C-alpha cells in the first residue's frame, strides 16, 4: 500500500517534479537527483511496491517490465554497445533509502566491480 510520504508515489502522481525520460502504463523513468554517473536514471513501477523483497508473485511481470524499461532507457542514452549497470538496492545494508522499488540505470563511465 502506498504511503502518503512515498516520494516516488508523488513523482508518479505528478505531485512533485522529476526529469522524466520515459513513462508508460506501468512504469516511469526519470533522472536521479544525485547522479553517480553521466547517465543515472531510476525506473519505478506506478504501483507502490516497497522493495524487491516485498514484491510478490503477482508482481513478476511488473518486475520484468521494469528491467525491459531499464534496457530501453540505457539504449536511448547510447549505452547499448558500451554497456551499463542496473542496480536494485534492497534494505538498509544495501543502502536503500527510498522504499518504493526502483532500478538504477548507470552508464557513461567505466564502473568498478565489486561495488562498494
Report if residue 5 touches ligand AMP, rule: CB under 6 A.
no
Catalytic (active-site) positions: 102
Q: Indicate which single residue of 21, 39, 45, 89 sits in contact with ligand AMP (rule: CB under 6 A).
A: 89
Q: Select from 26-34, 61-69, 78-86, 107-115 the region that touches ligand AMP (CB under 6 A).
A: 26-34
Q: Select from 27-35, 53-61, 64-72, 108-116 the region that touches ligand AMP (CB under 6 A).
A: 27-35
Of 80, 81, 83, 86, the residue nearest 104 (C-alpha): 86
Report if residue 6 touches ligand AMP, rule: CB under 6 A.
no
Q: Select from 66-74, 76-84, 91-99, 106-114 the region that touches ligand AMP (CB under 6 A).
A: 91-99
Cell numbers that stand for 37 in this block: 554517473
Report if residue 111 touches ligand AMP, rule: CB under 6 A.
no
Report if residue 33 touches ligand AMP, rule: CB under 6 A.
yes
How many angstroms separate the CA atoms of 44 and 85, rounded?
Answer: 16
3-state secondary structure 34-64: CCCCCEEEEEEECCCCCCCCCCCHHHHHHHH
How many angstroms separate the CA atoms of 51 and 100, rounded?
Answer: 6
Amino acid at each position: 500500500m502506498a504511503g502518503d510520504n512515498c516520494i516516488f508515489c508523488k513523482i508518479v502522481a505528478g505531485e512533485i517534479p522529476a526529469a522524466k525520460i520515459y513513462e508508460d502504463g506501468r512504469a516511469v523513468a526519470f533522472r536521479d537527483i544525485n547522479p553517480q554517473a553521466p547517465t543515472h536514471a531510476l525506473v519505478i513501477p506506478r504501483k507502490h511496491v516497497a522493495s524487491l523483497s516485498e514484491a510478490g508473485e503477482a508482481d513478476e511481470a511488473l518486475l520484468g517490465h521494469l528491467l525491459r524499461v531499464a534496457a530501453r532507457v540505457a539504449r536511448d542514452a547510447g549505452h547499448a554497445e558500451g554497456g551499463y549497470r542496473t542496480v536494485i538496492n534492497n534494505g538498509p545494508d544495501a543502502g536503500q533509502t527510498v522504499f518504493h522499488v526502483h532500478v538504477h540505470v548507470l552508464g557513461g563511465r567505466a564502473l568498478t566491480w565489486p561495488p562498494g
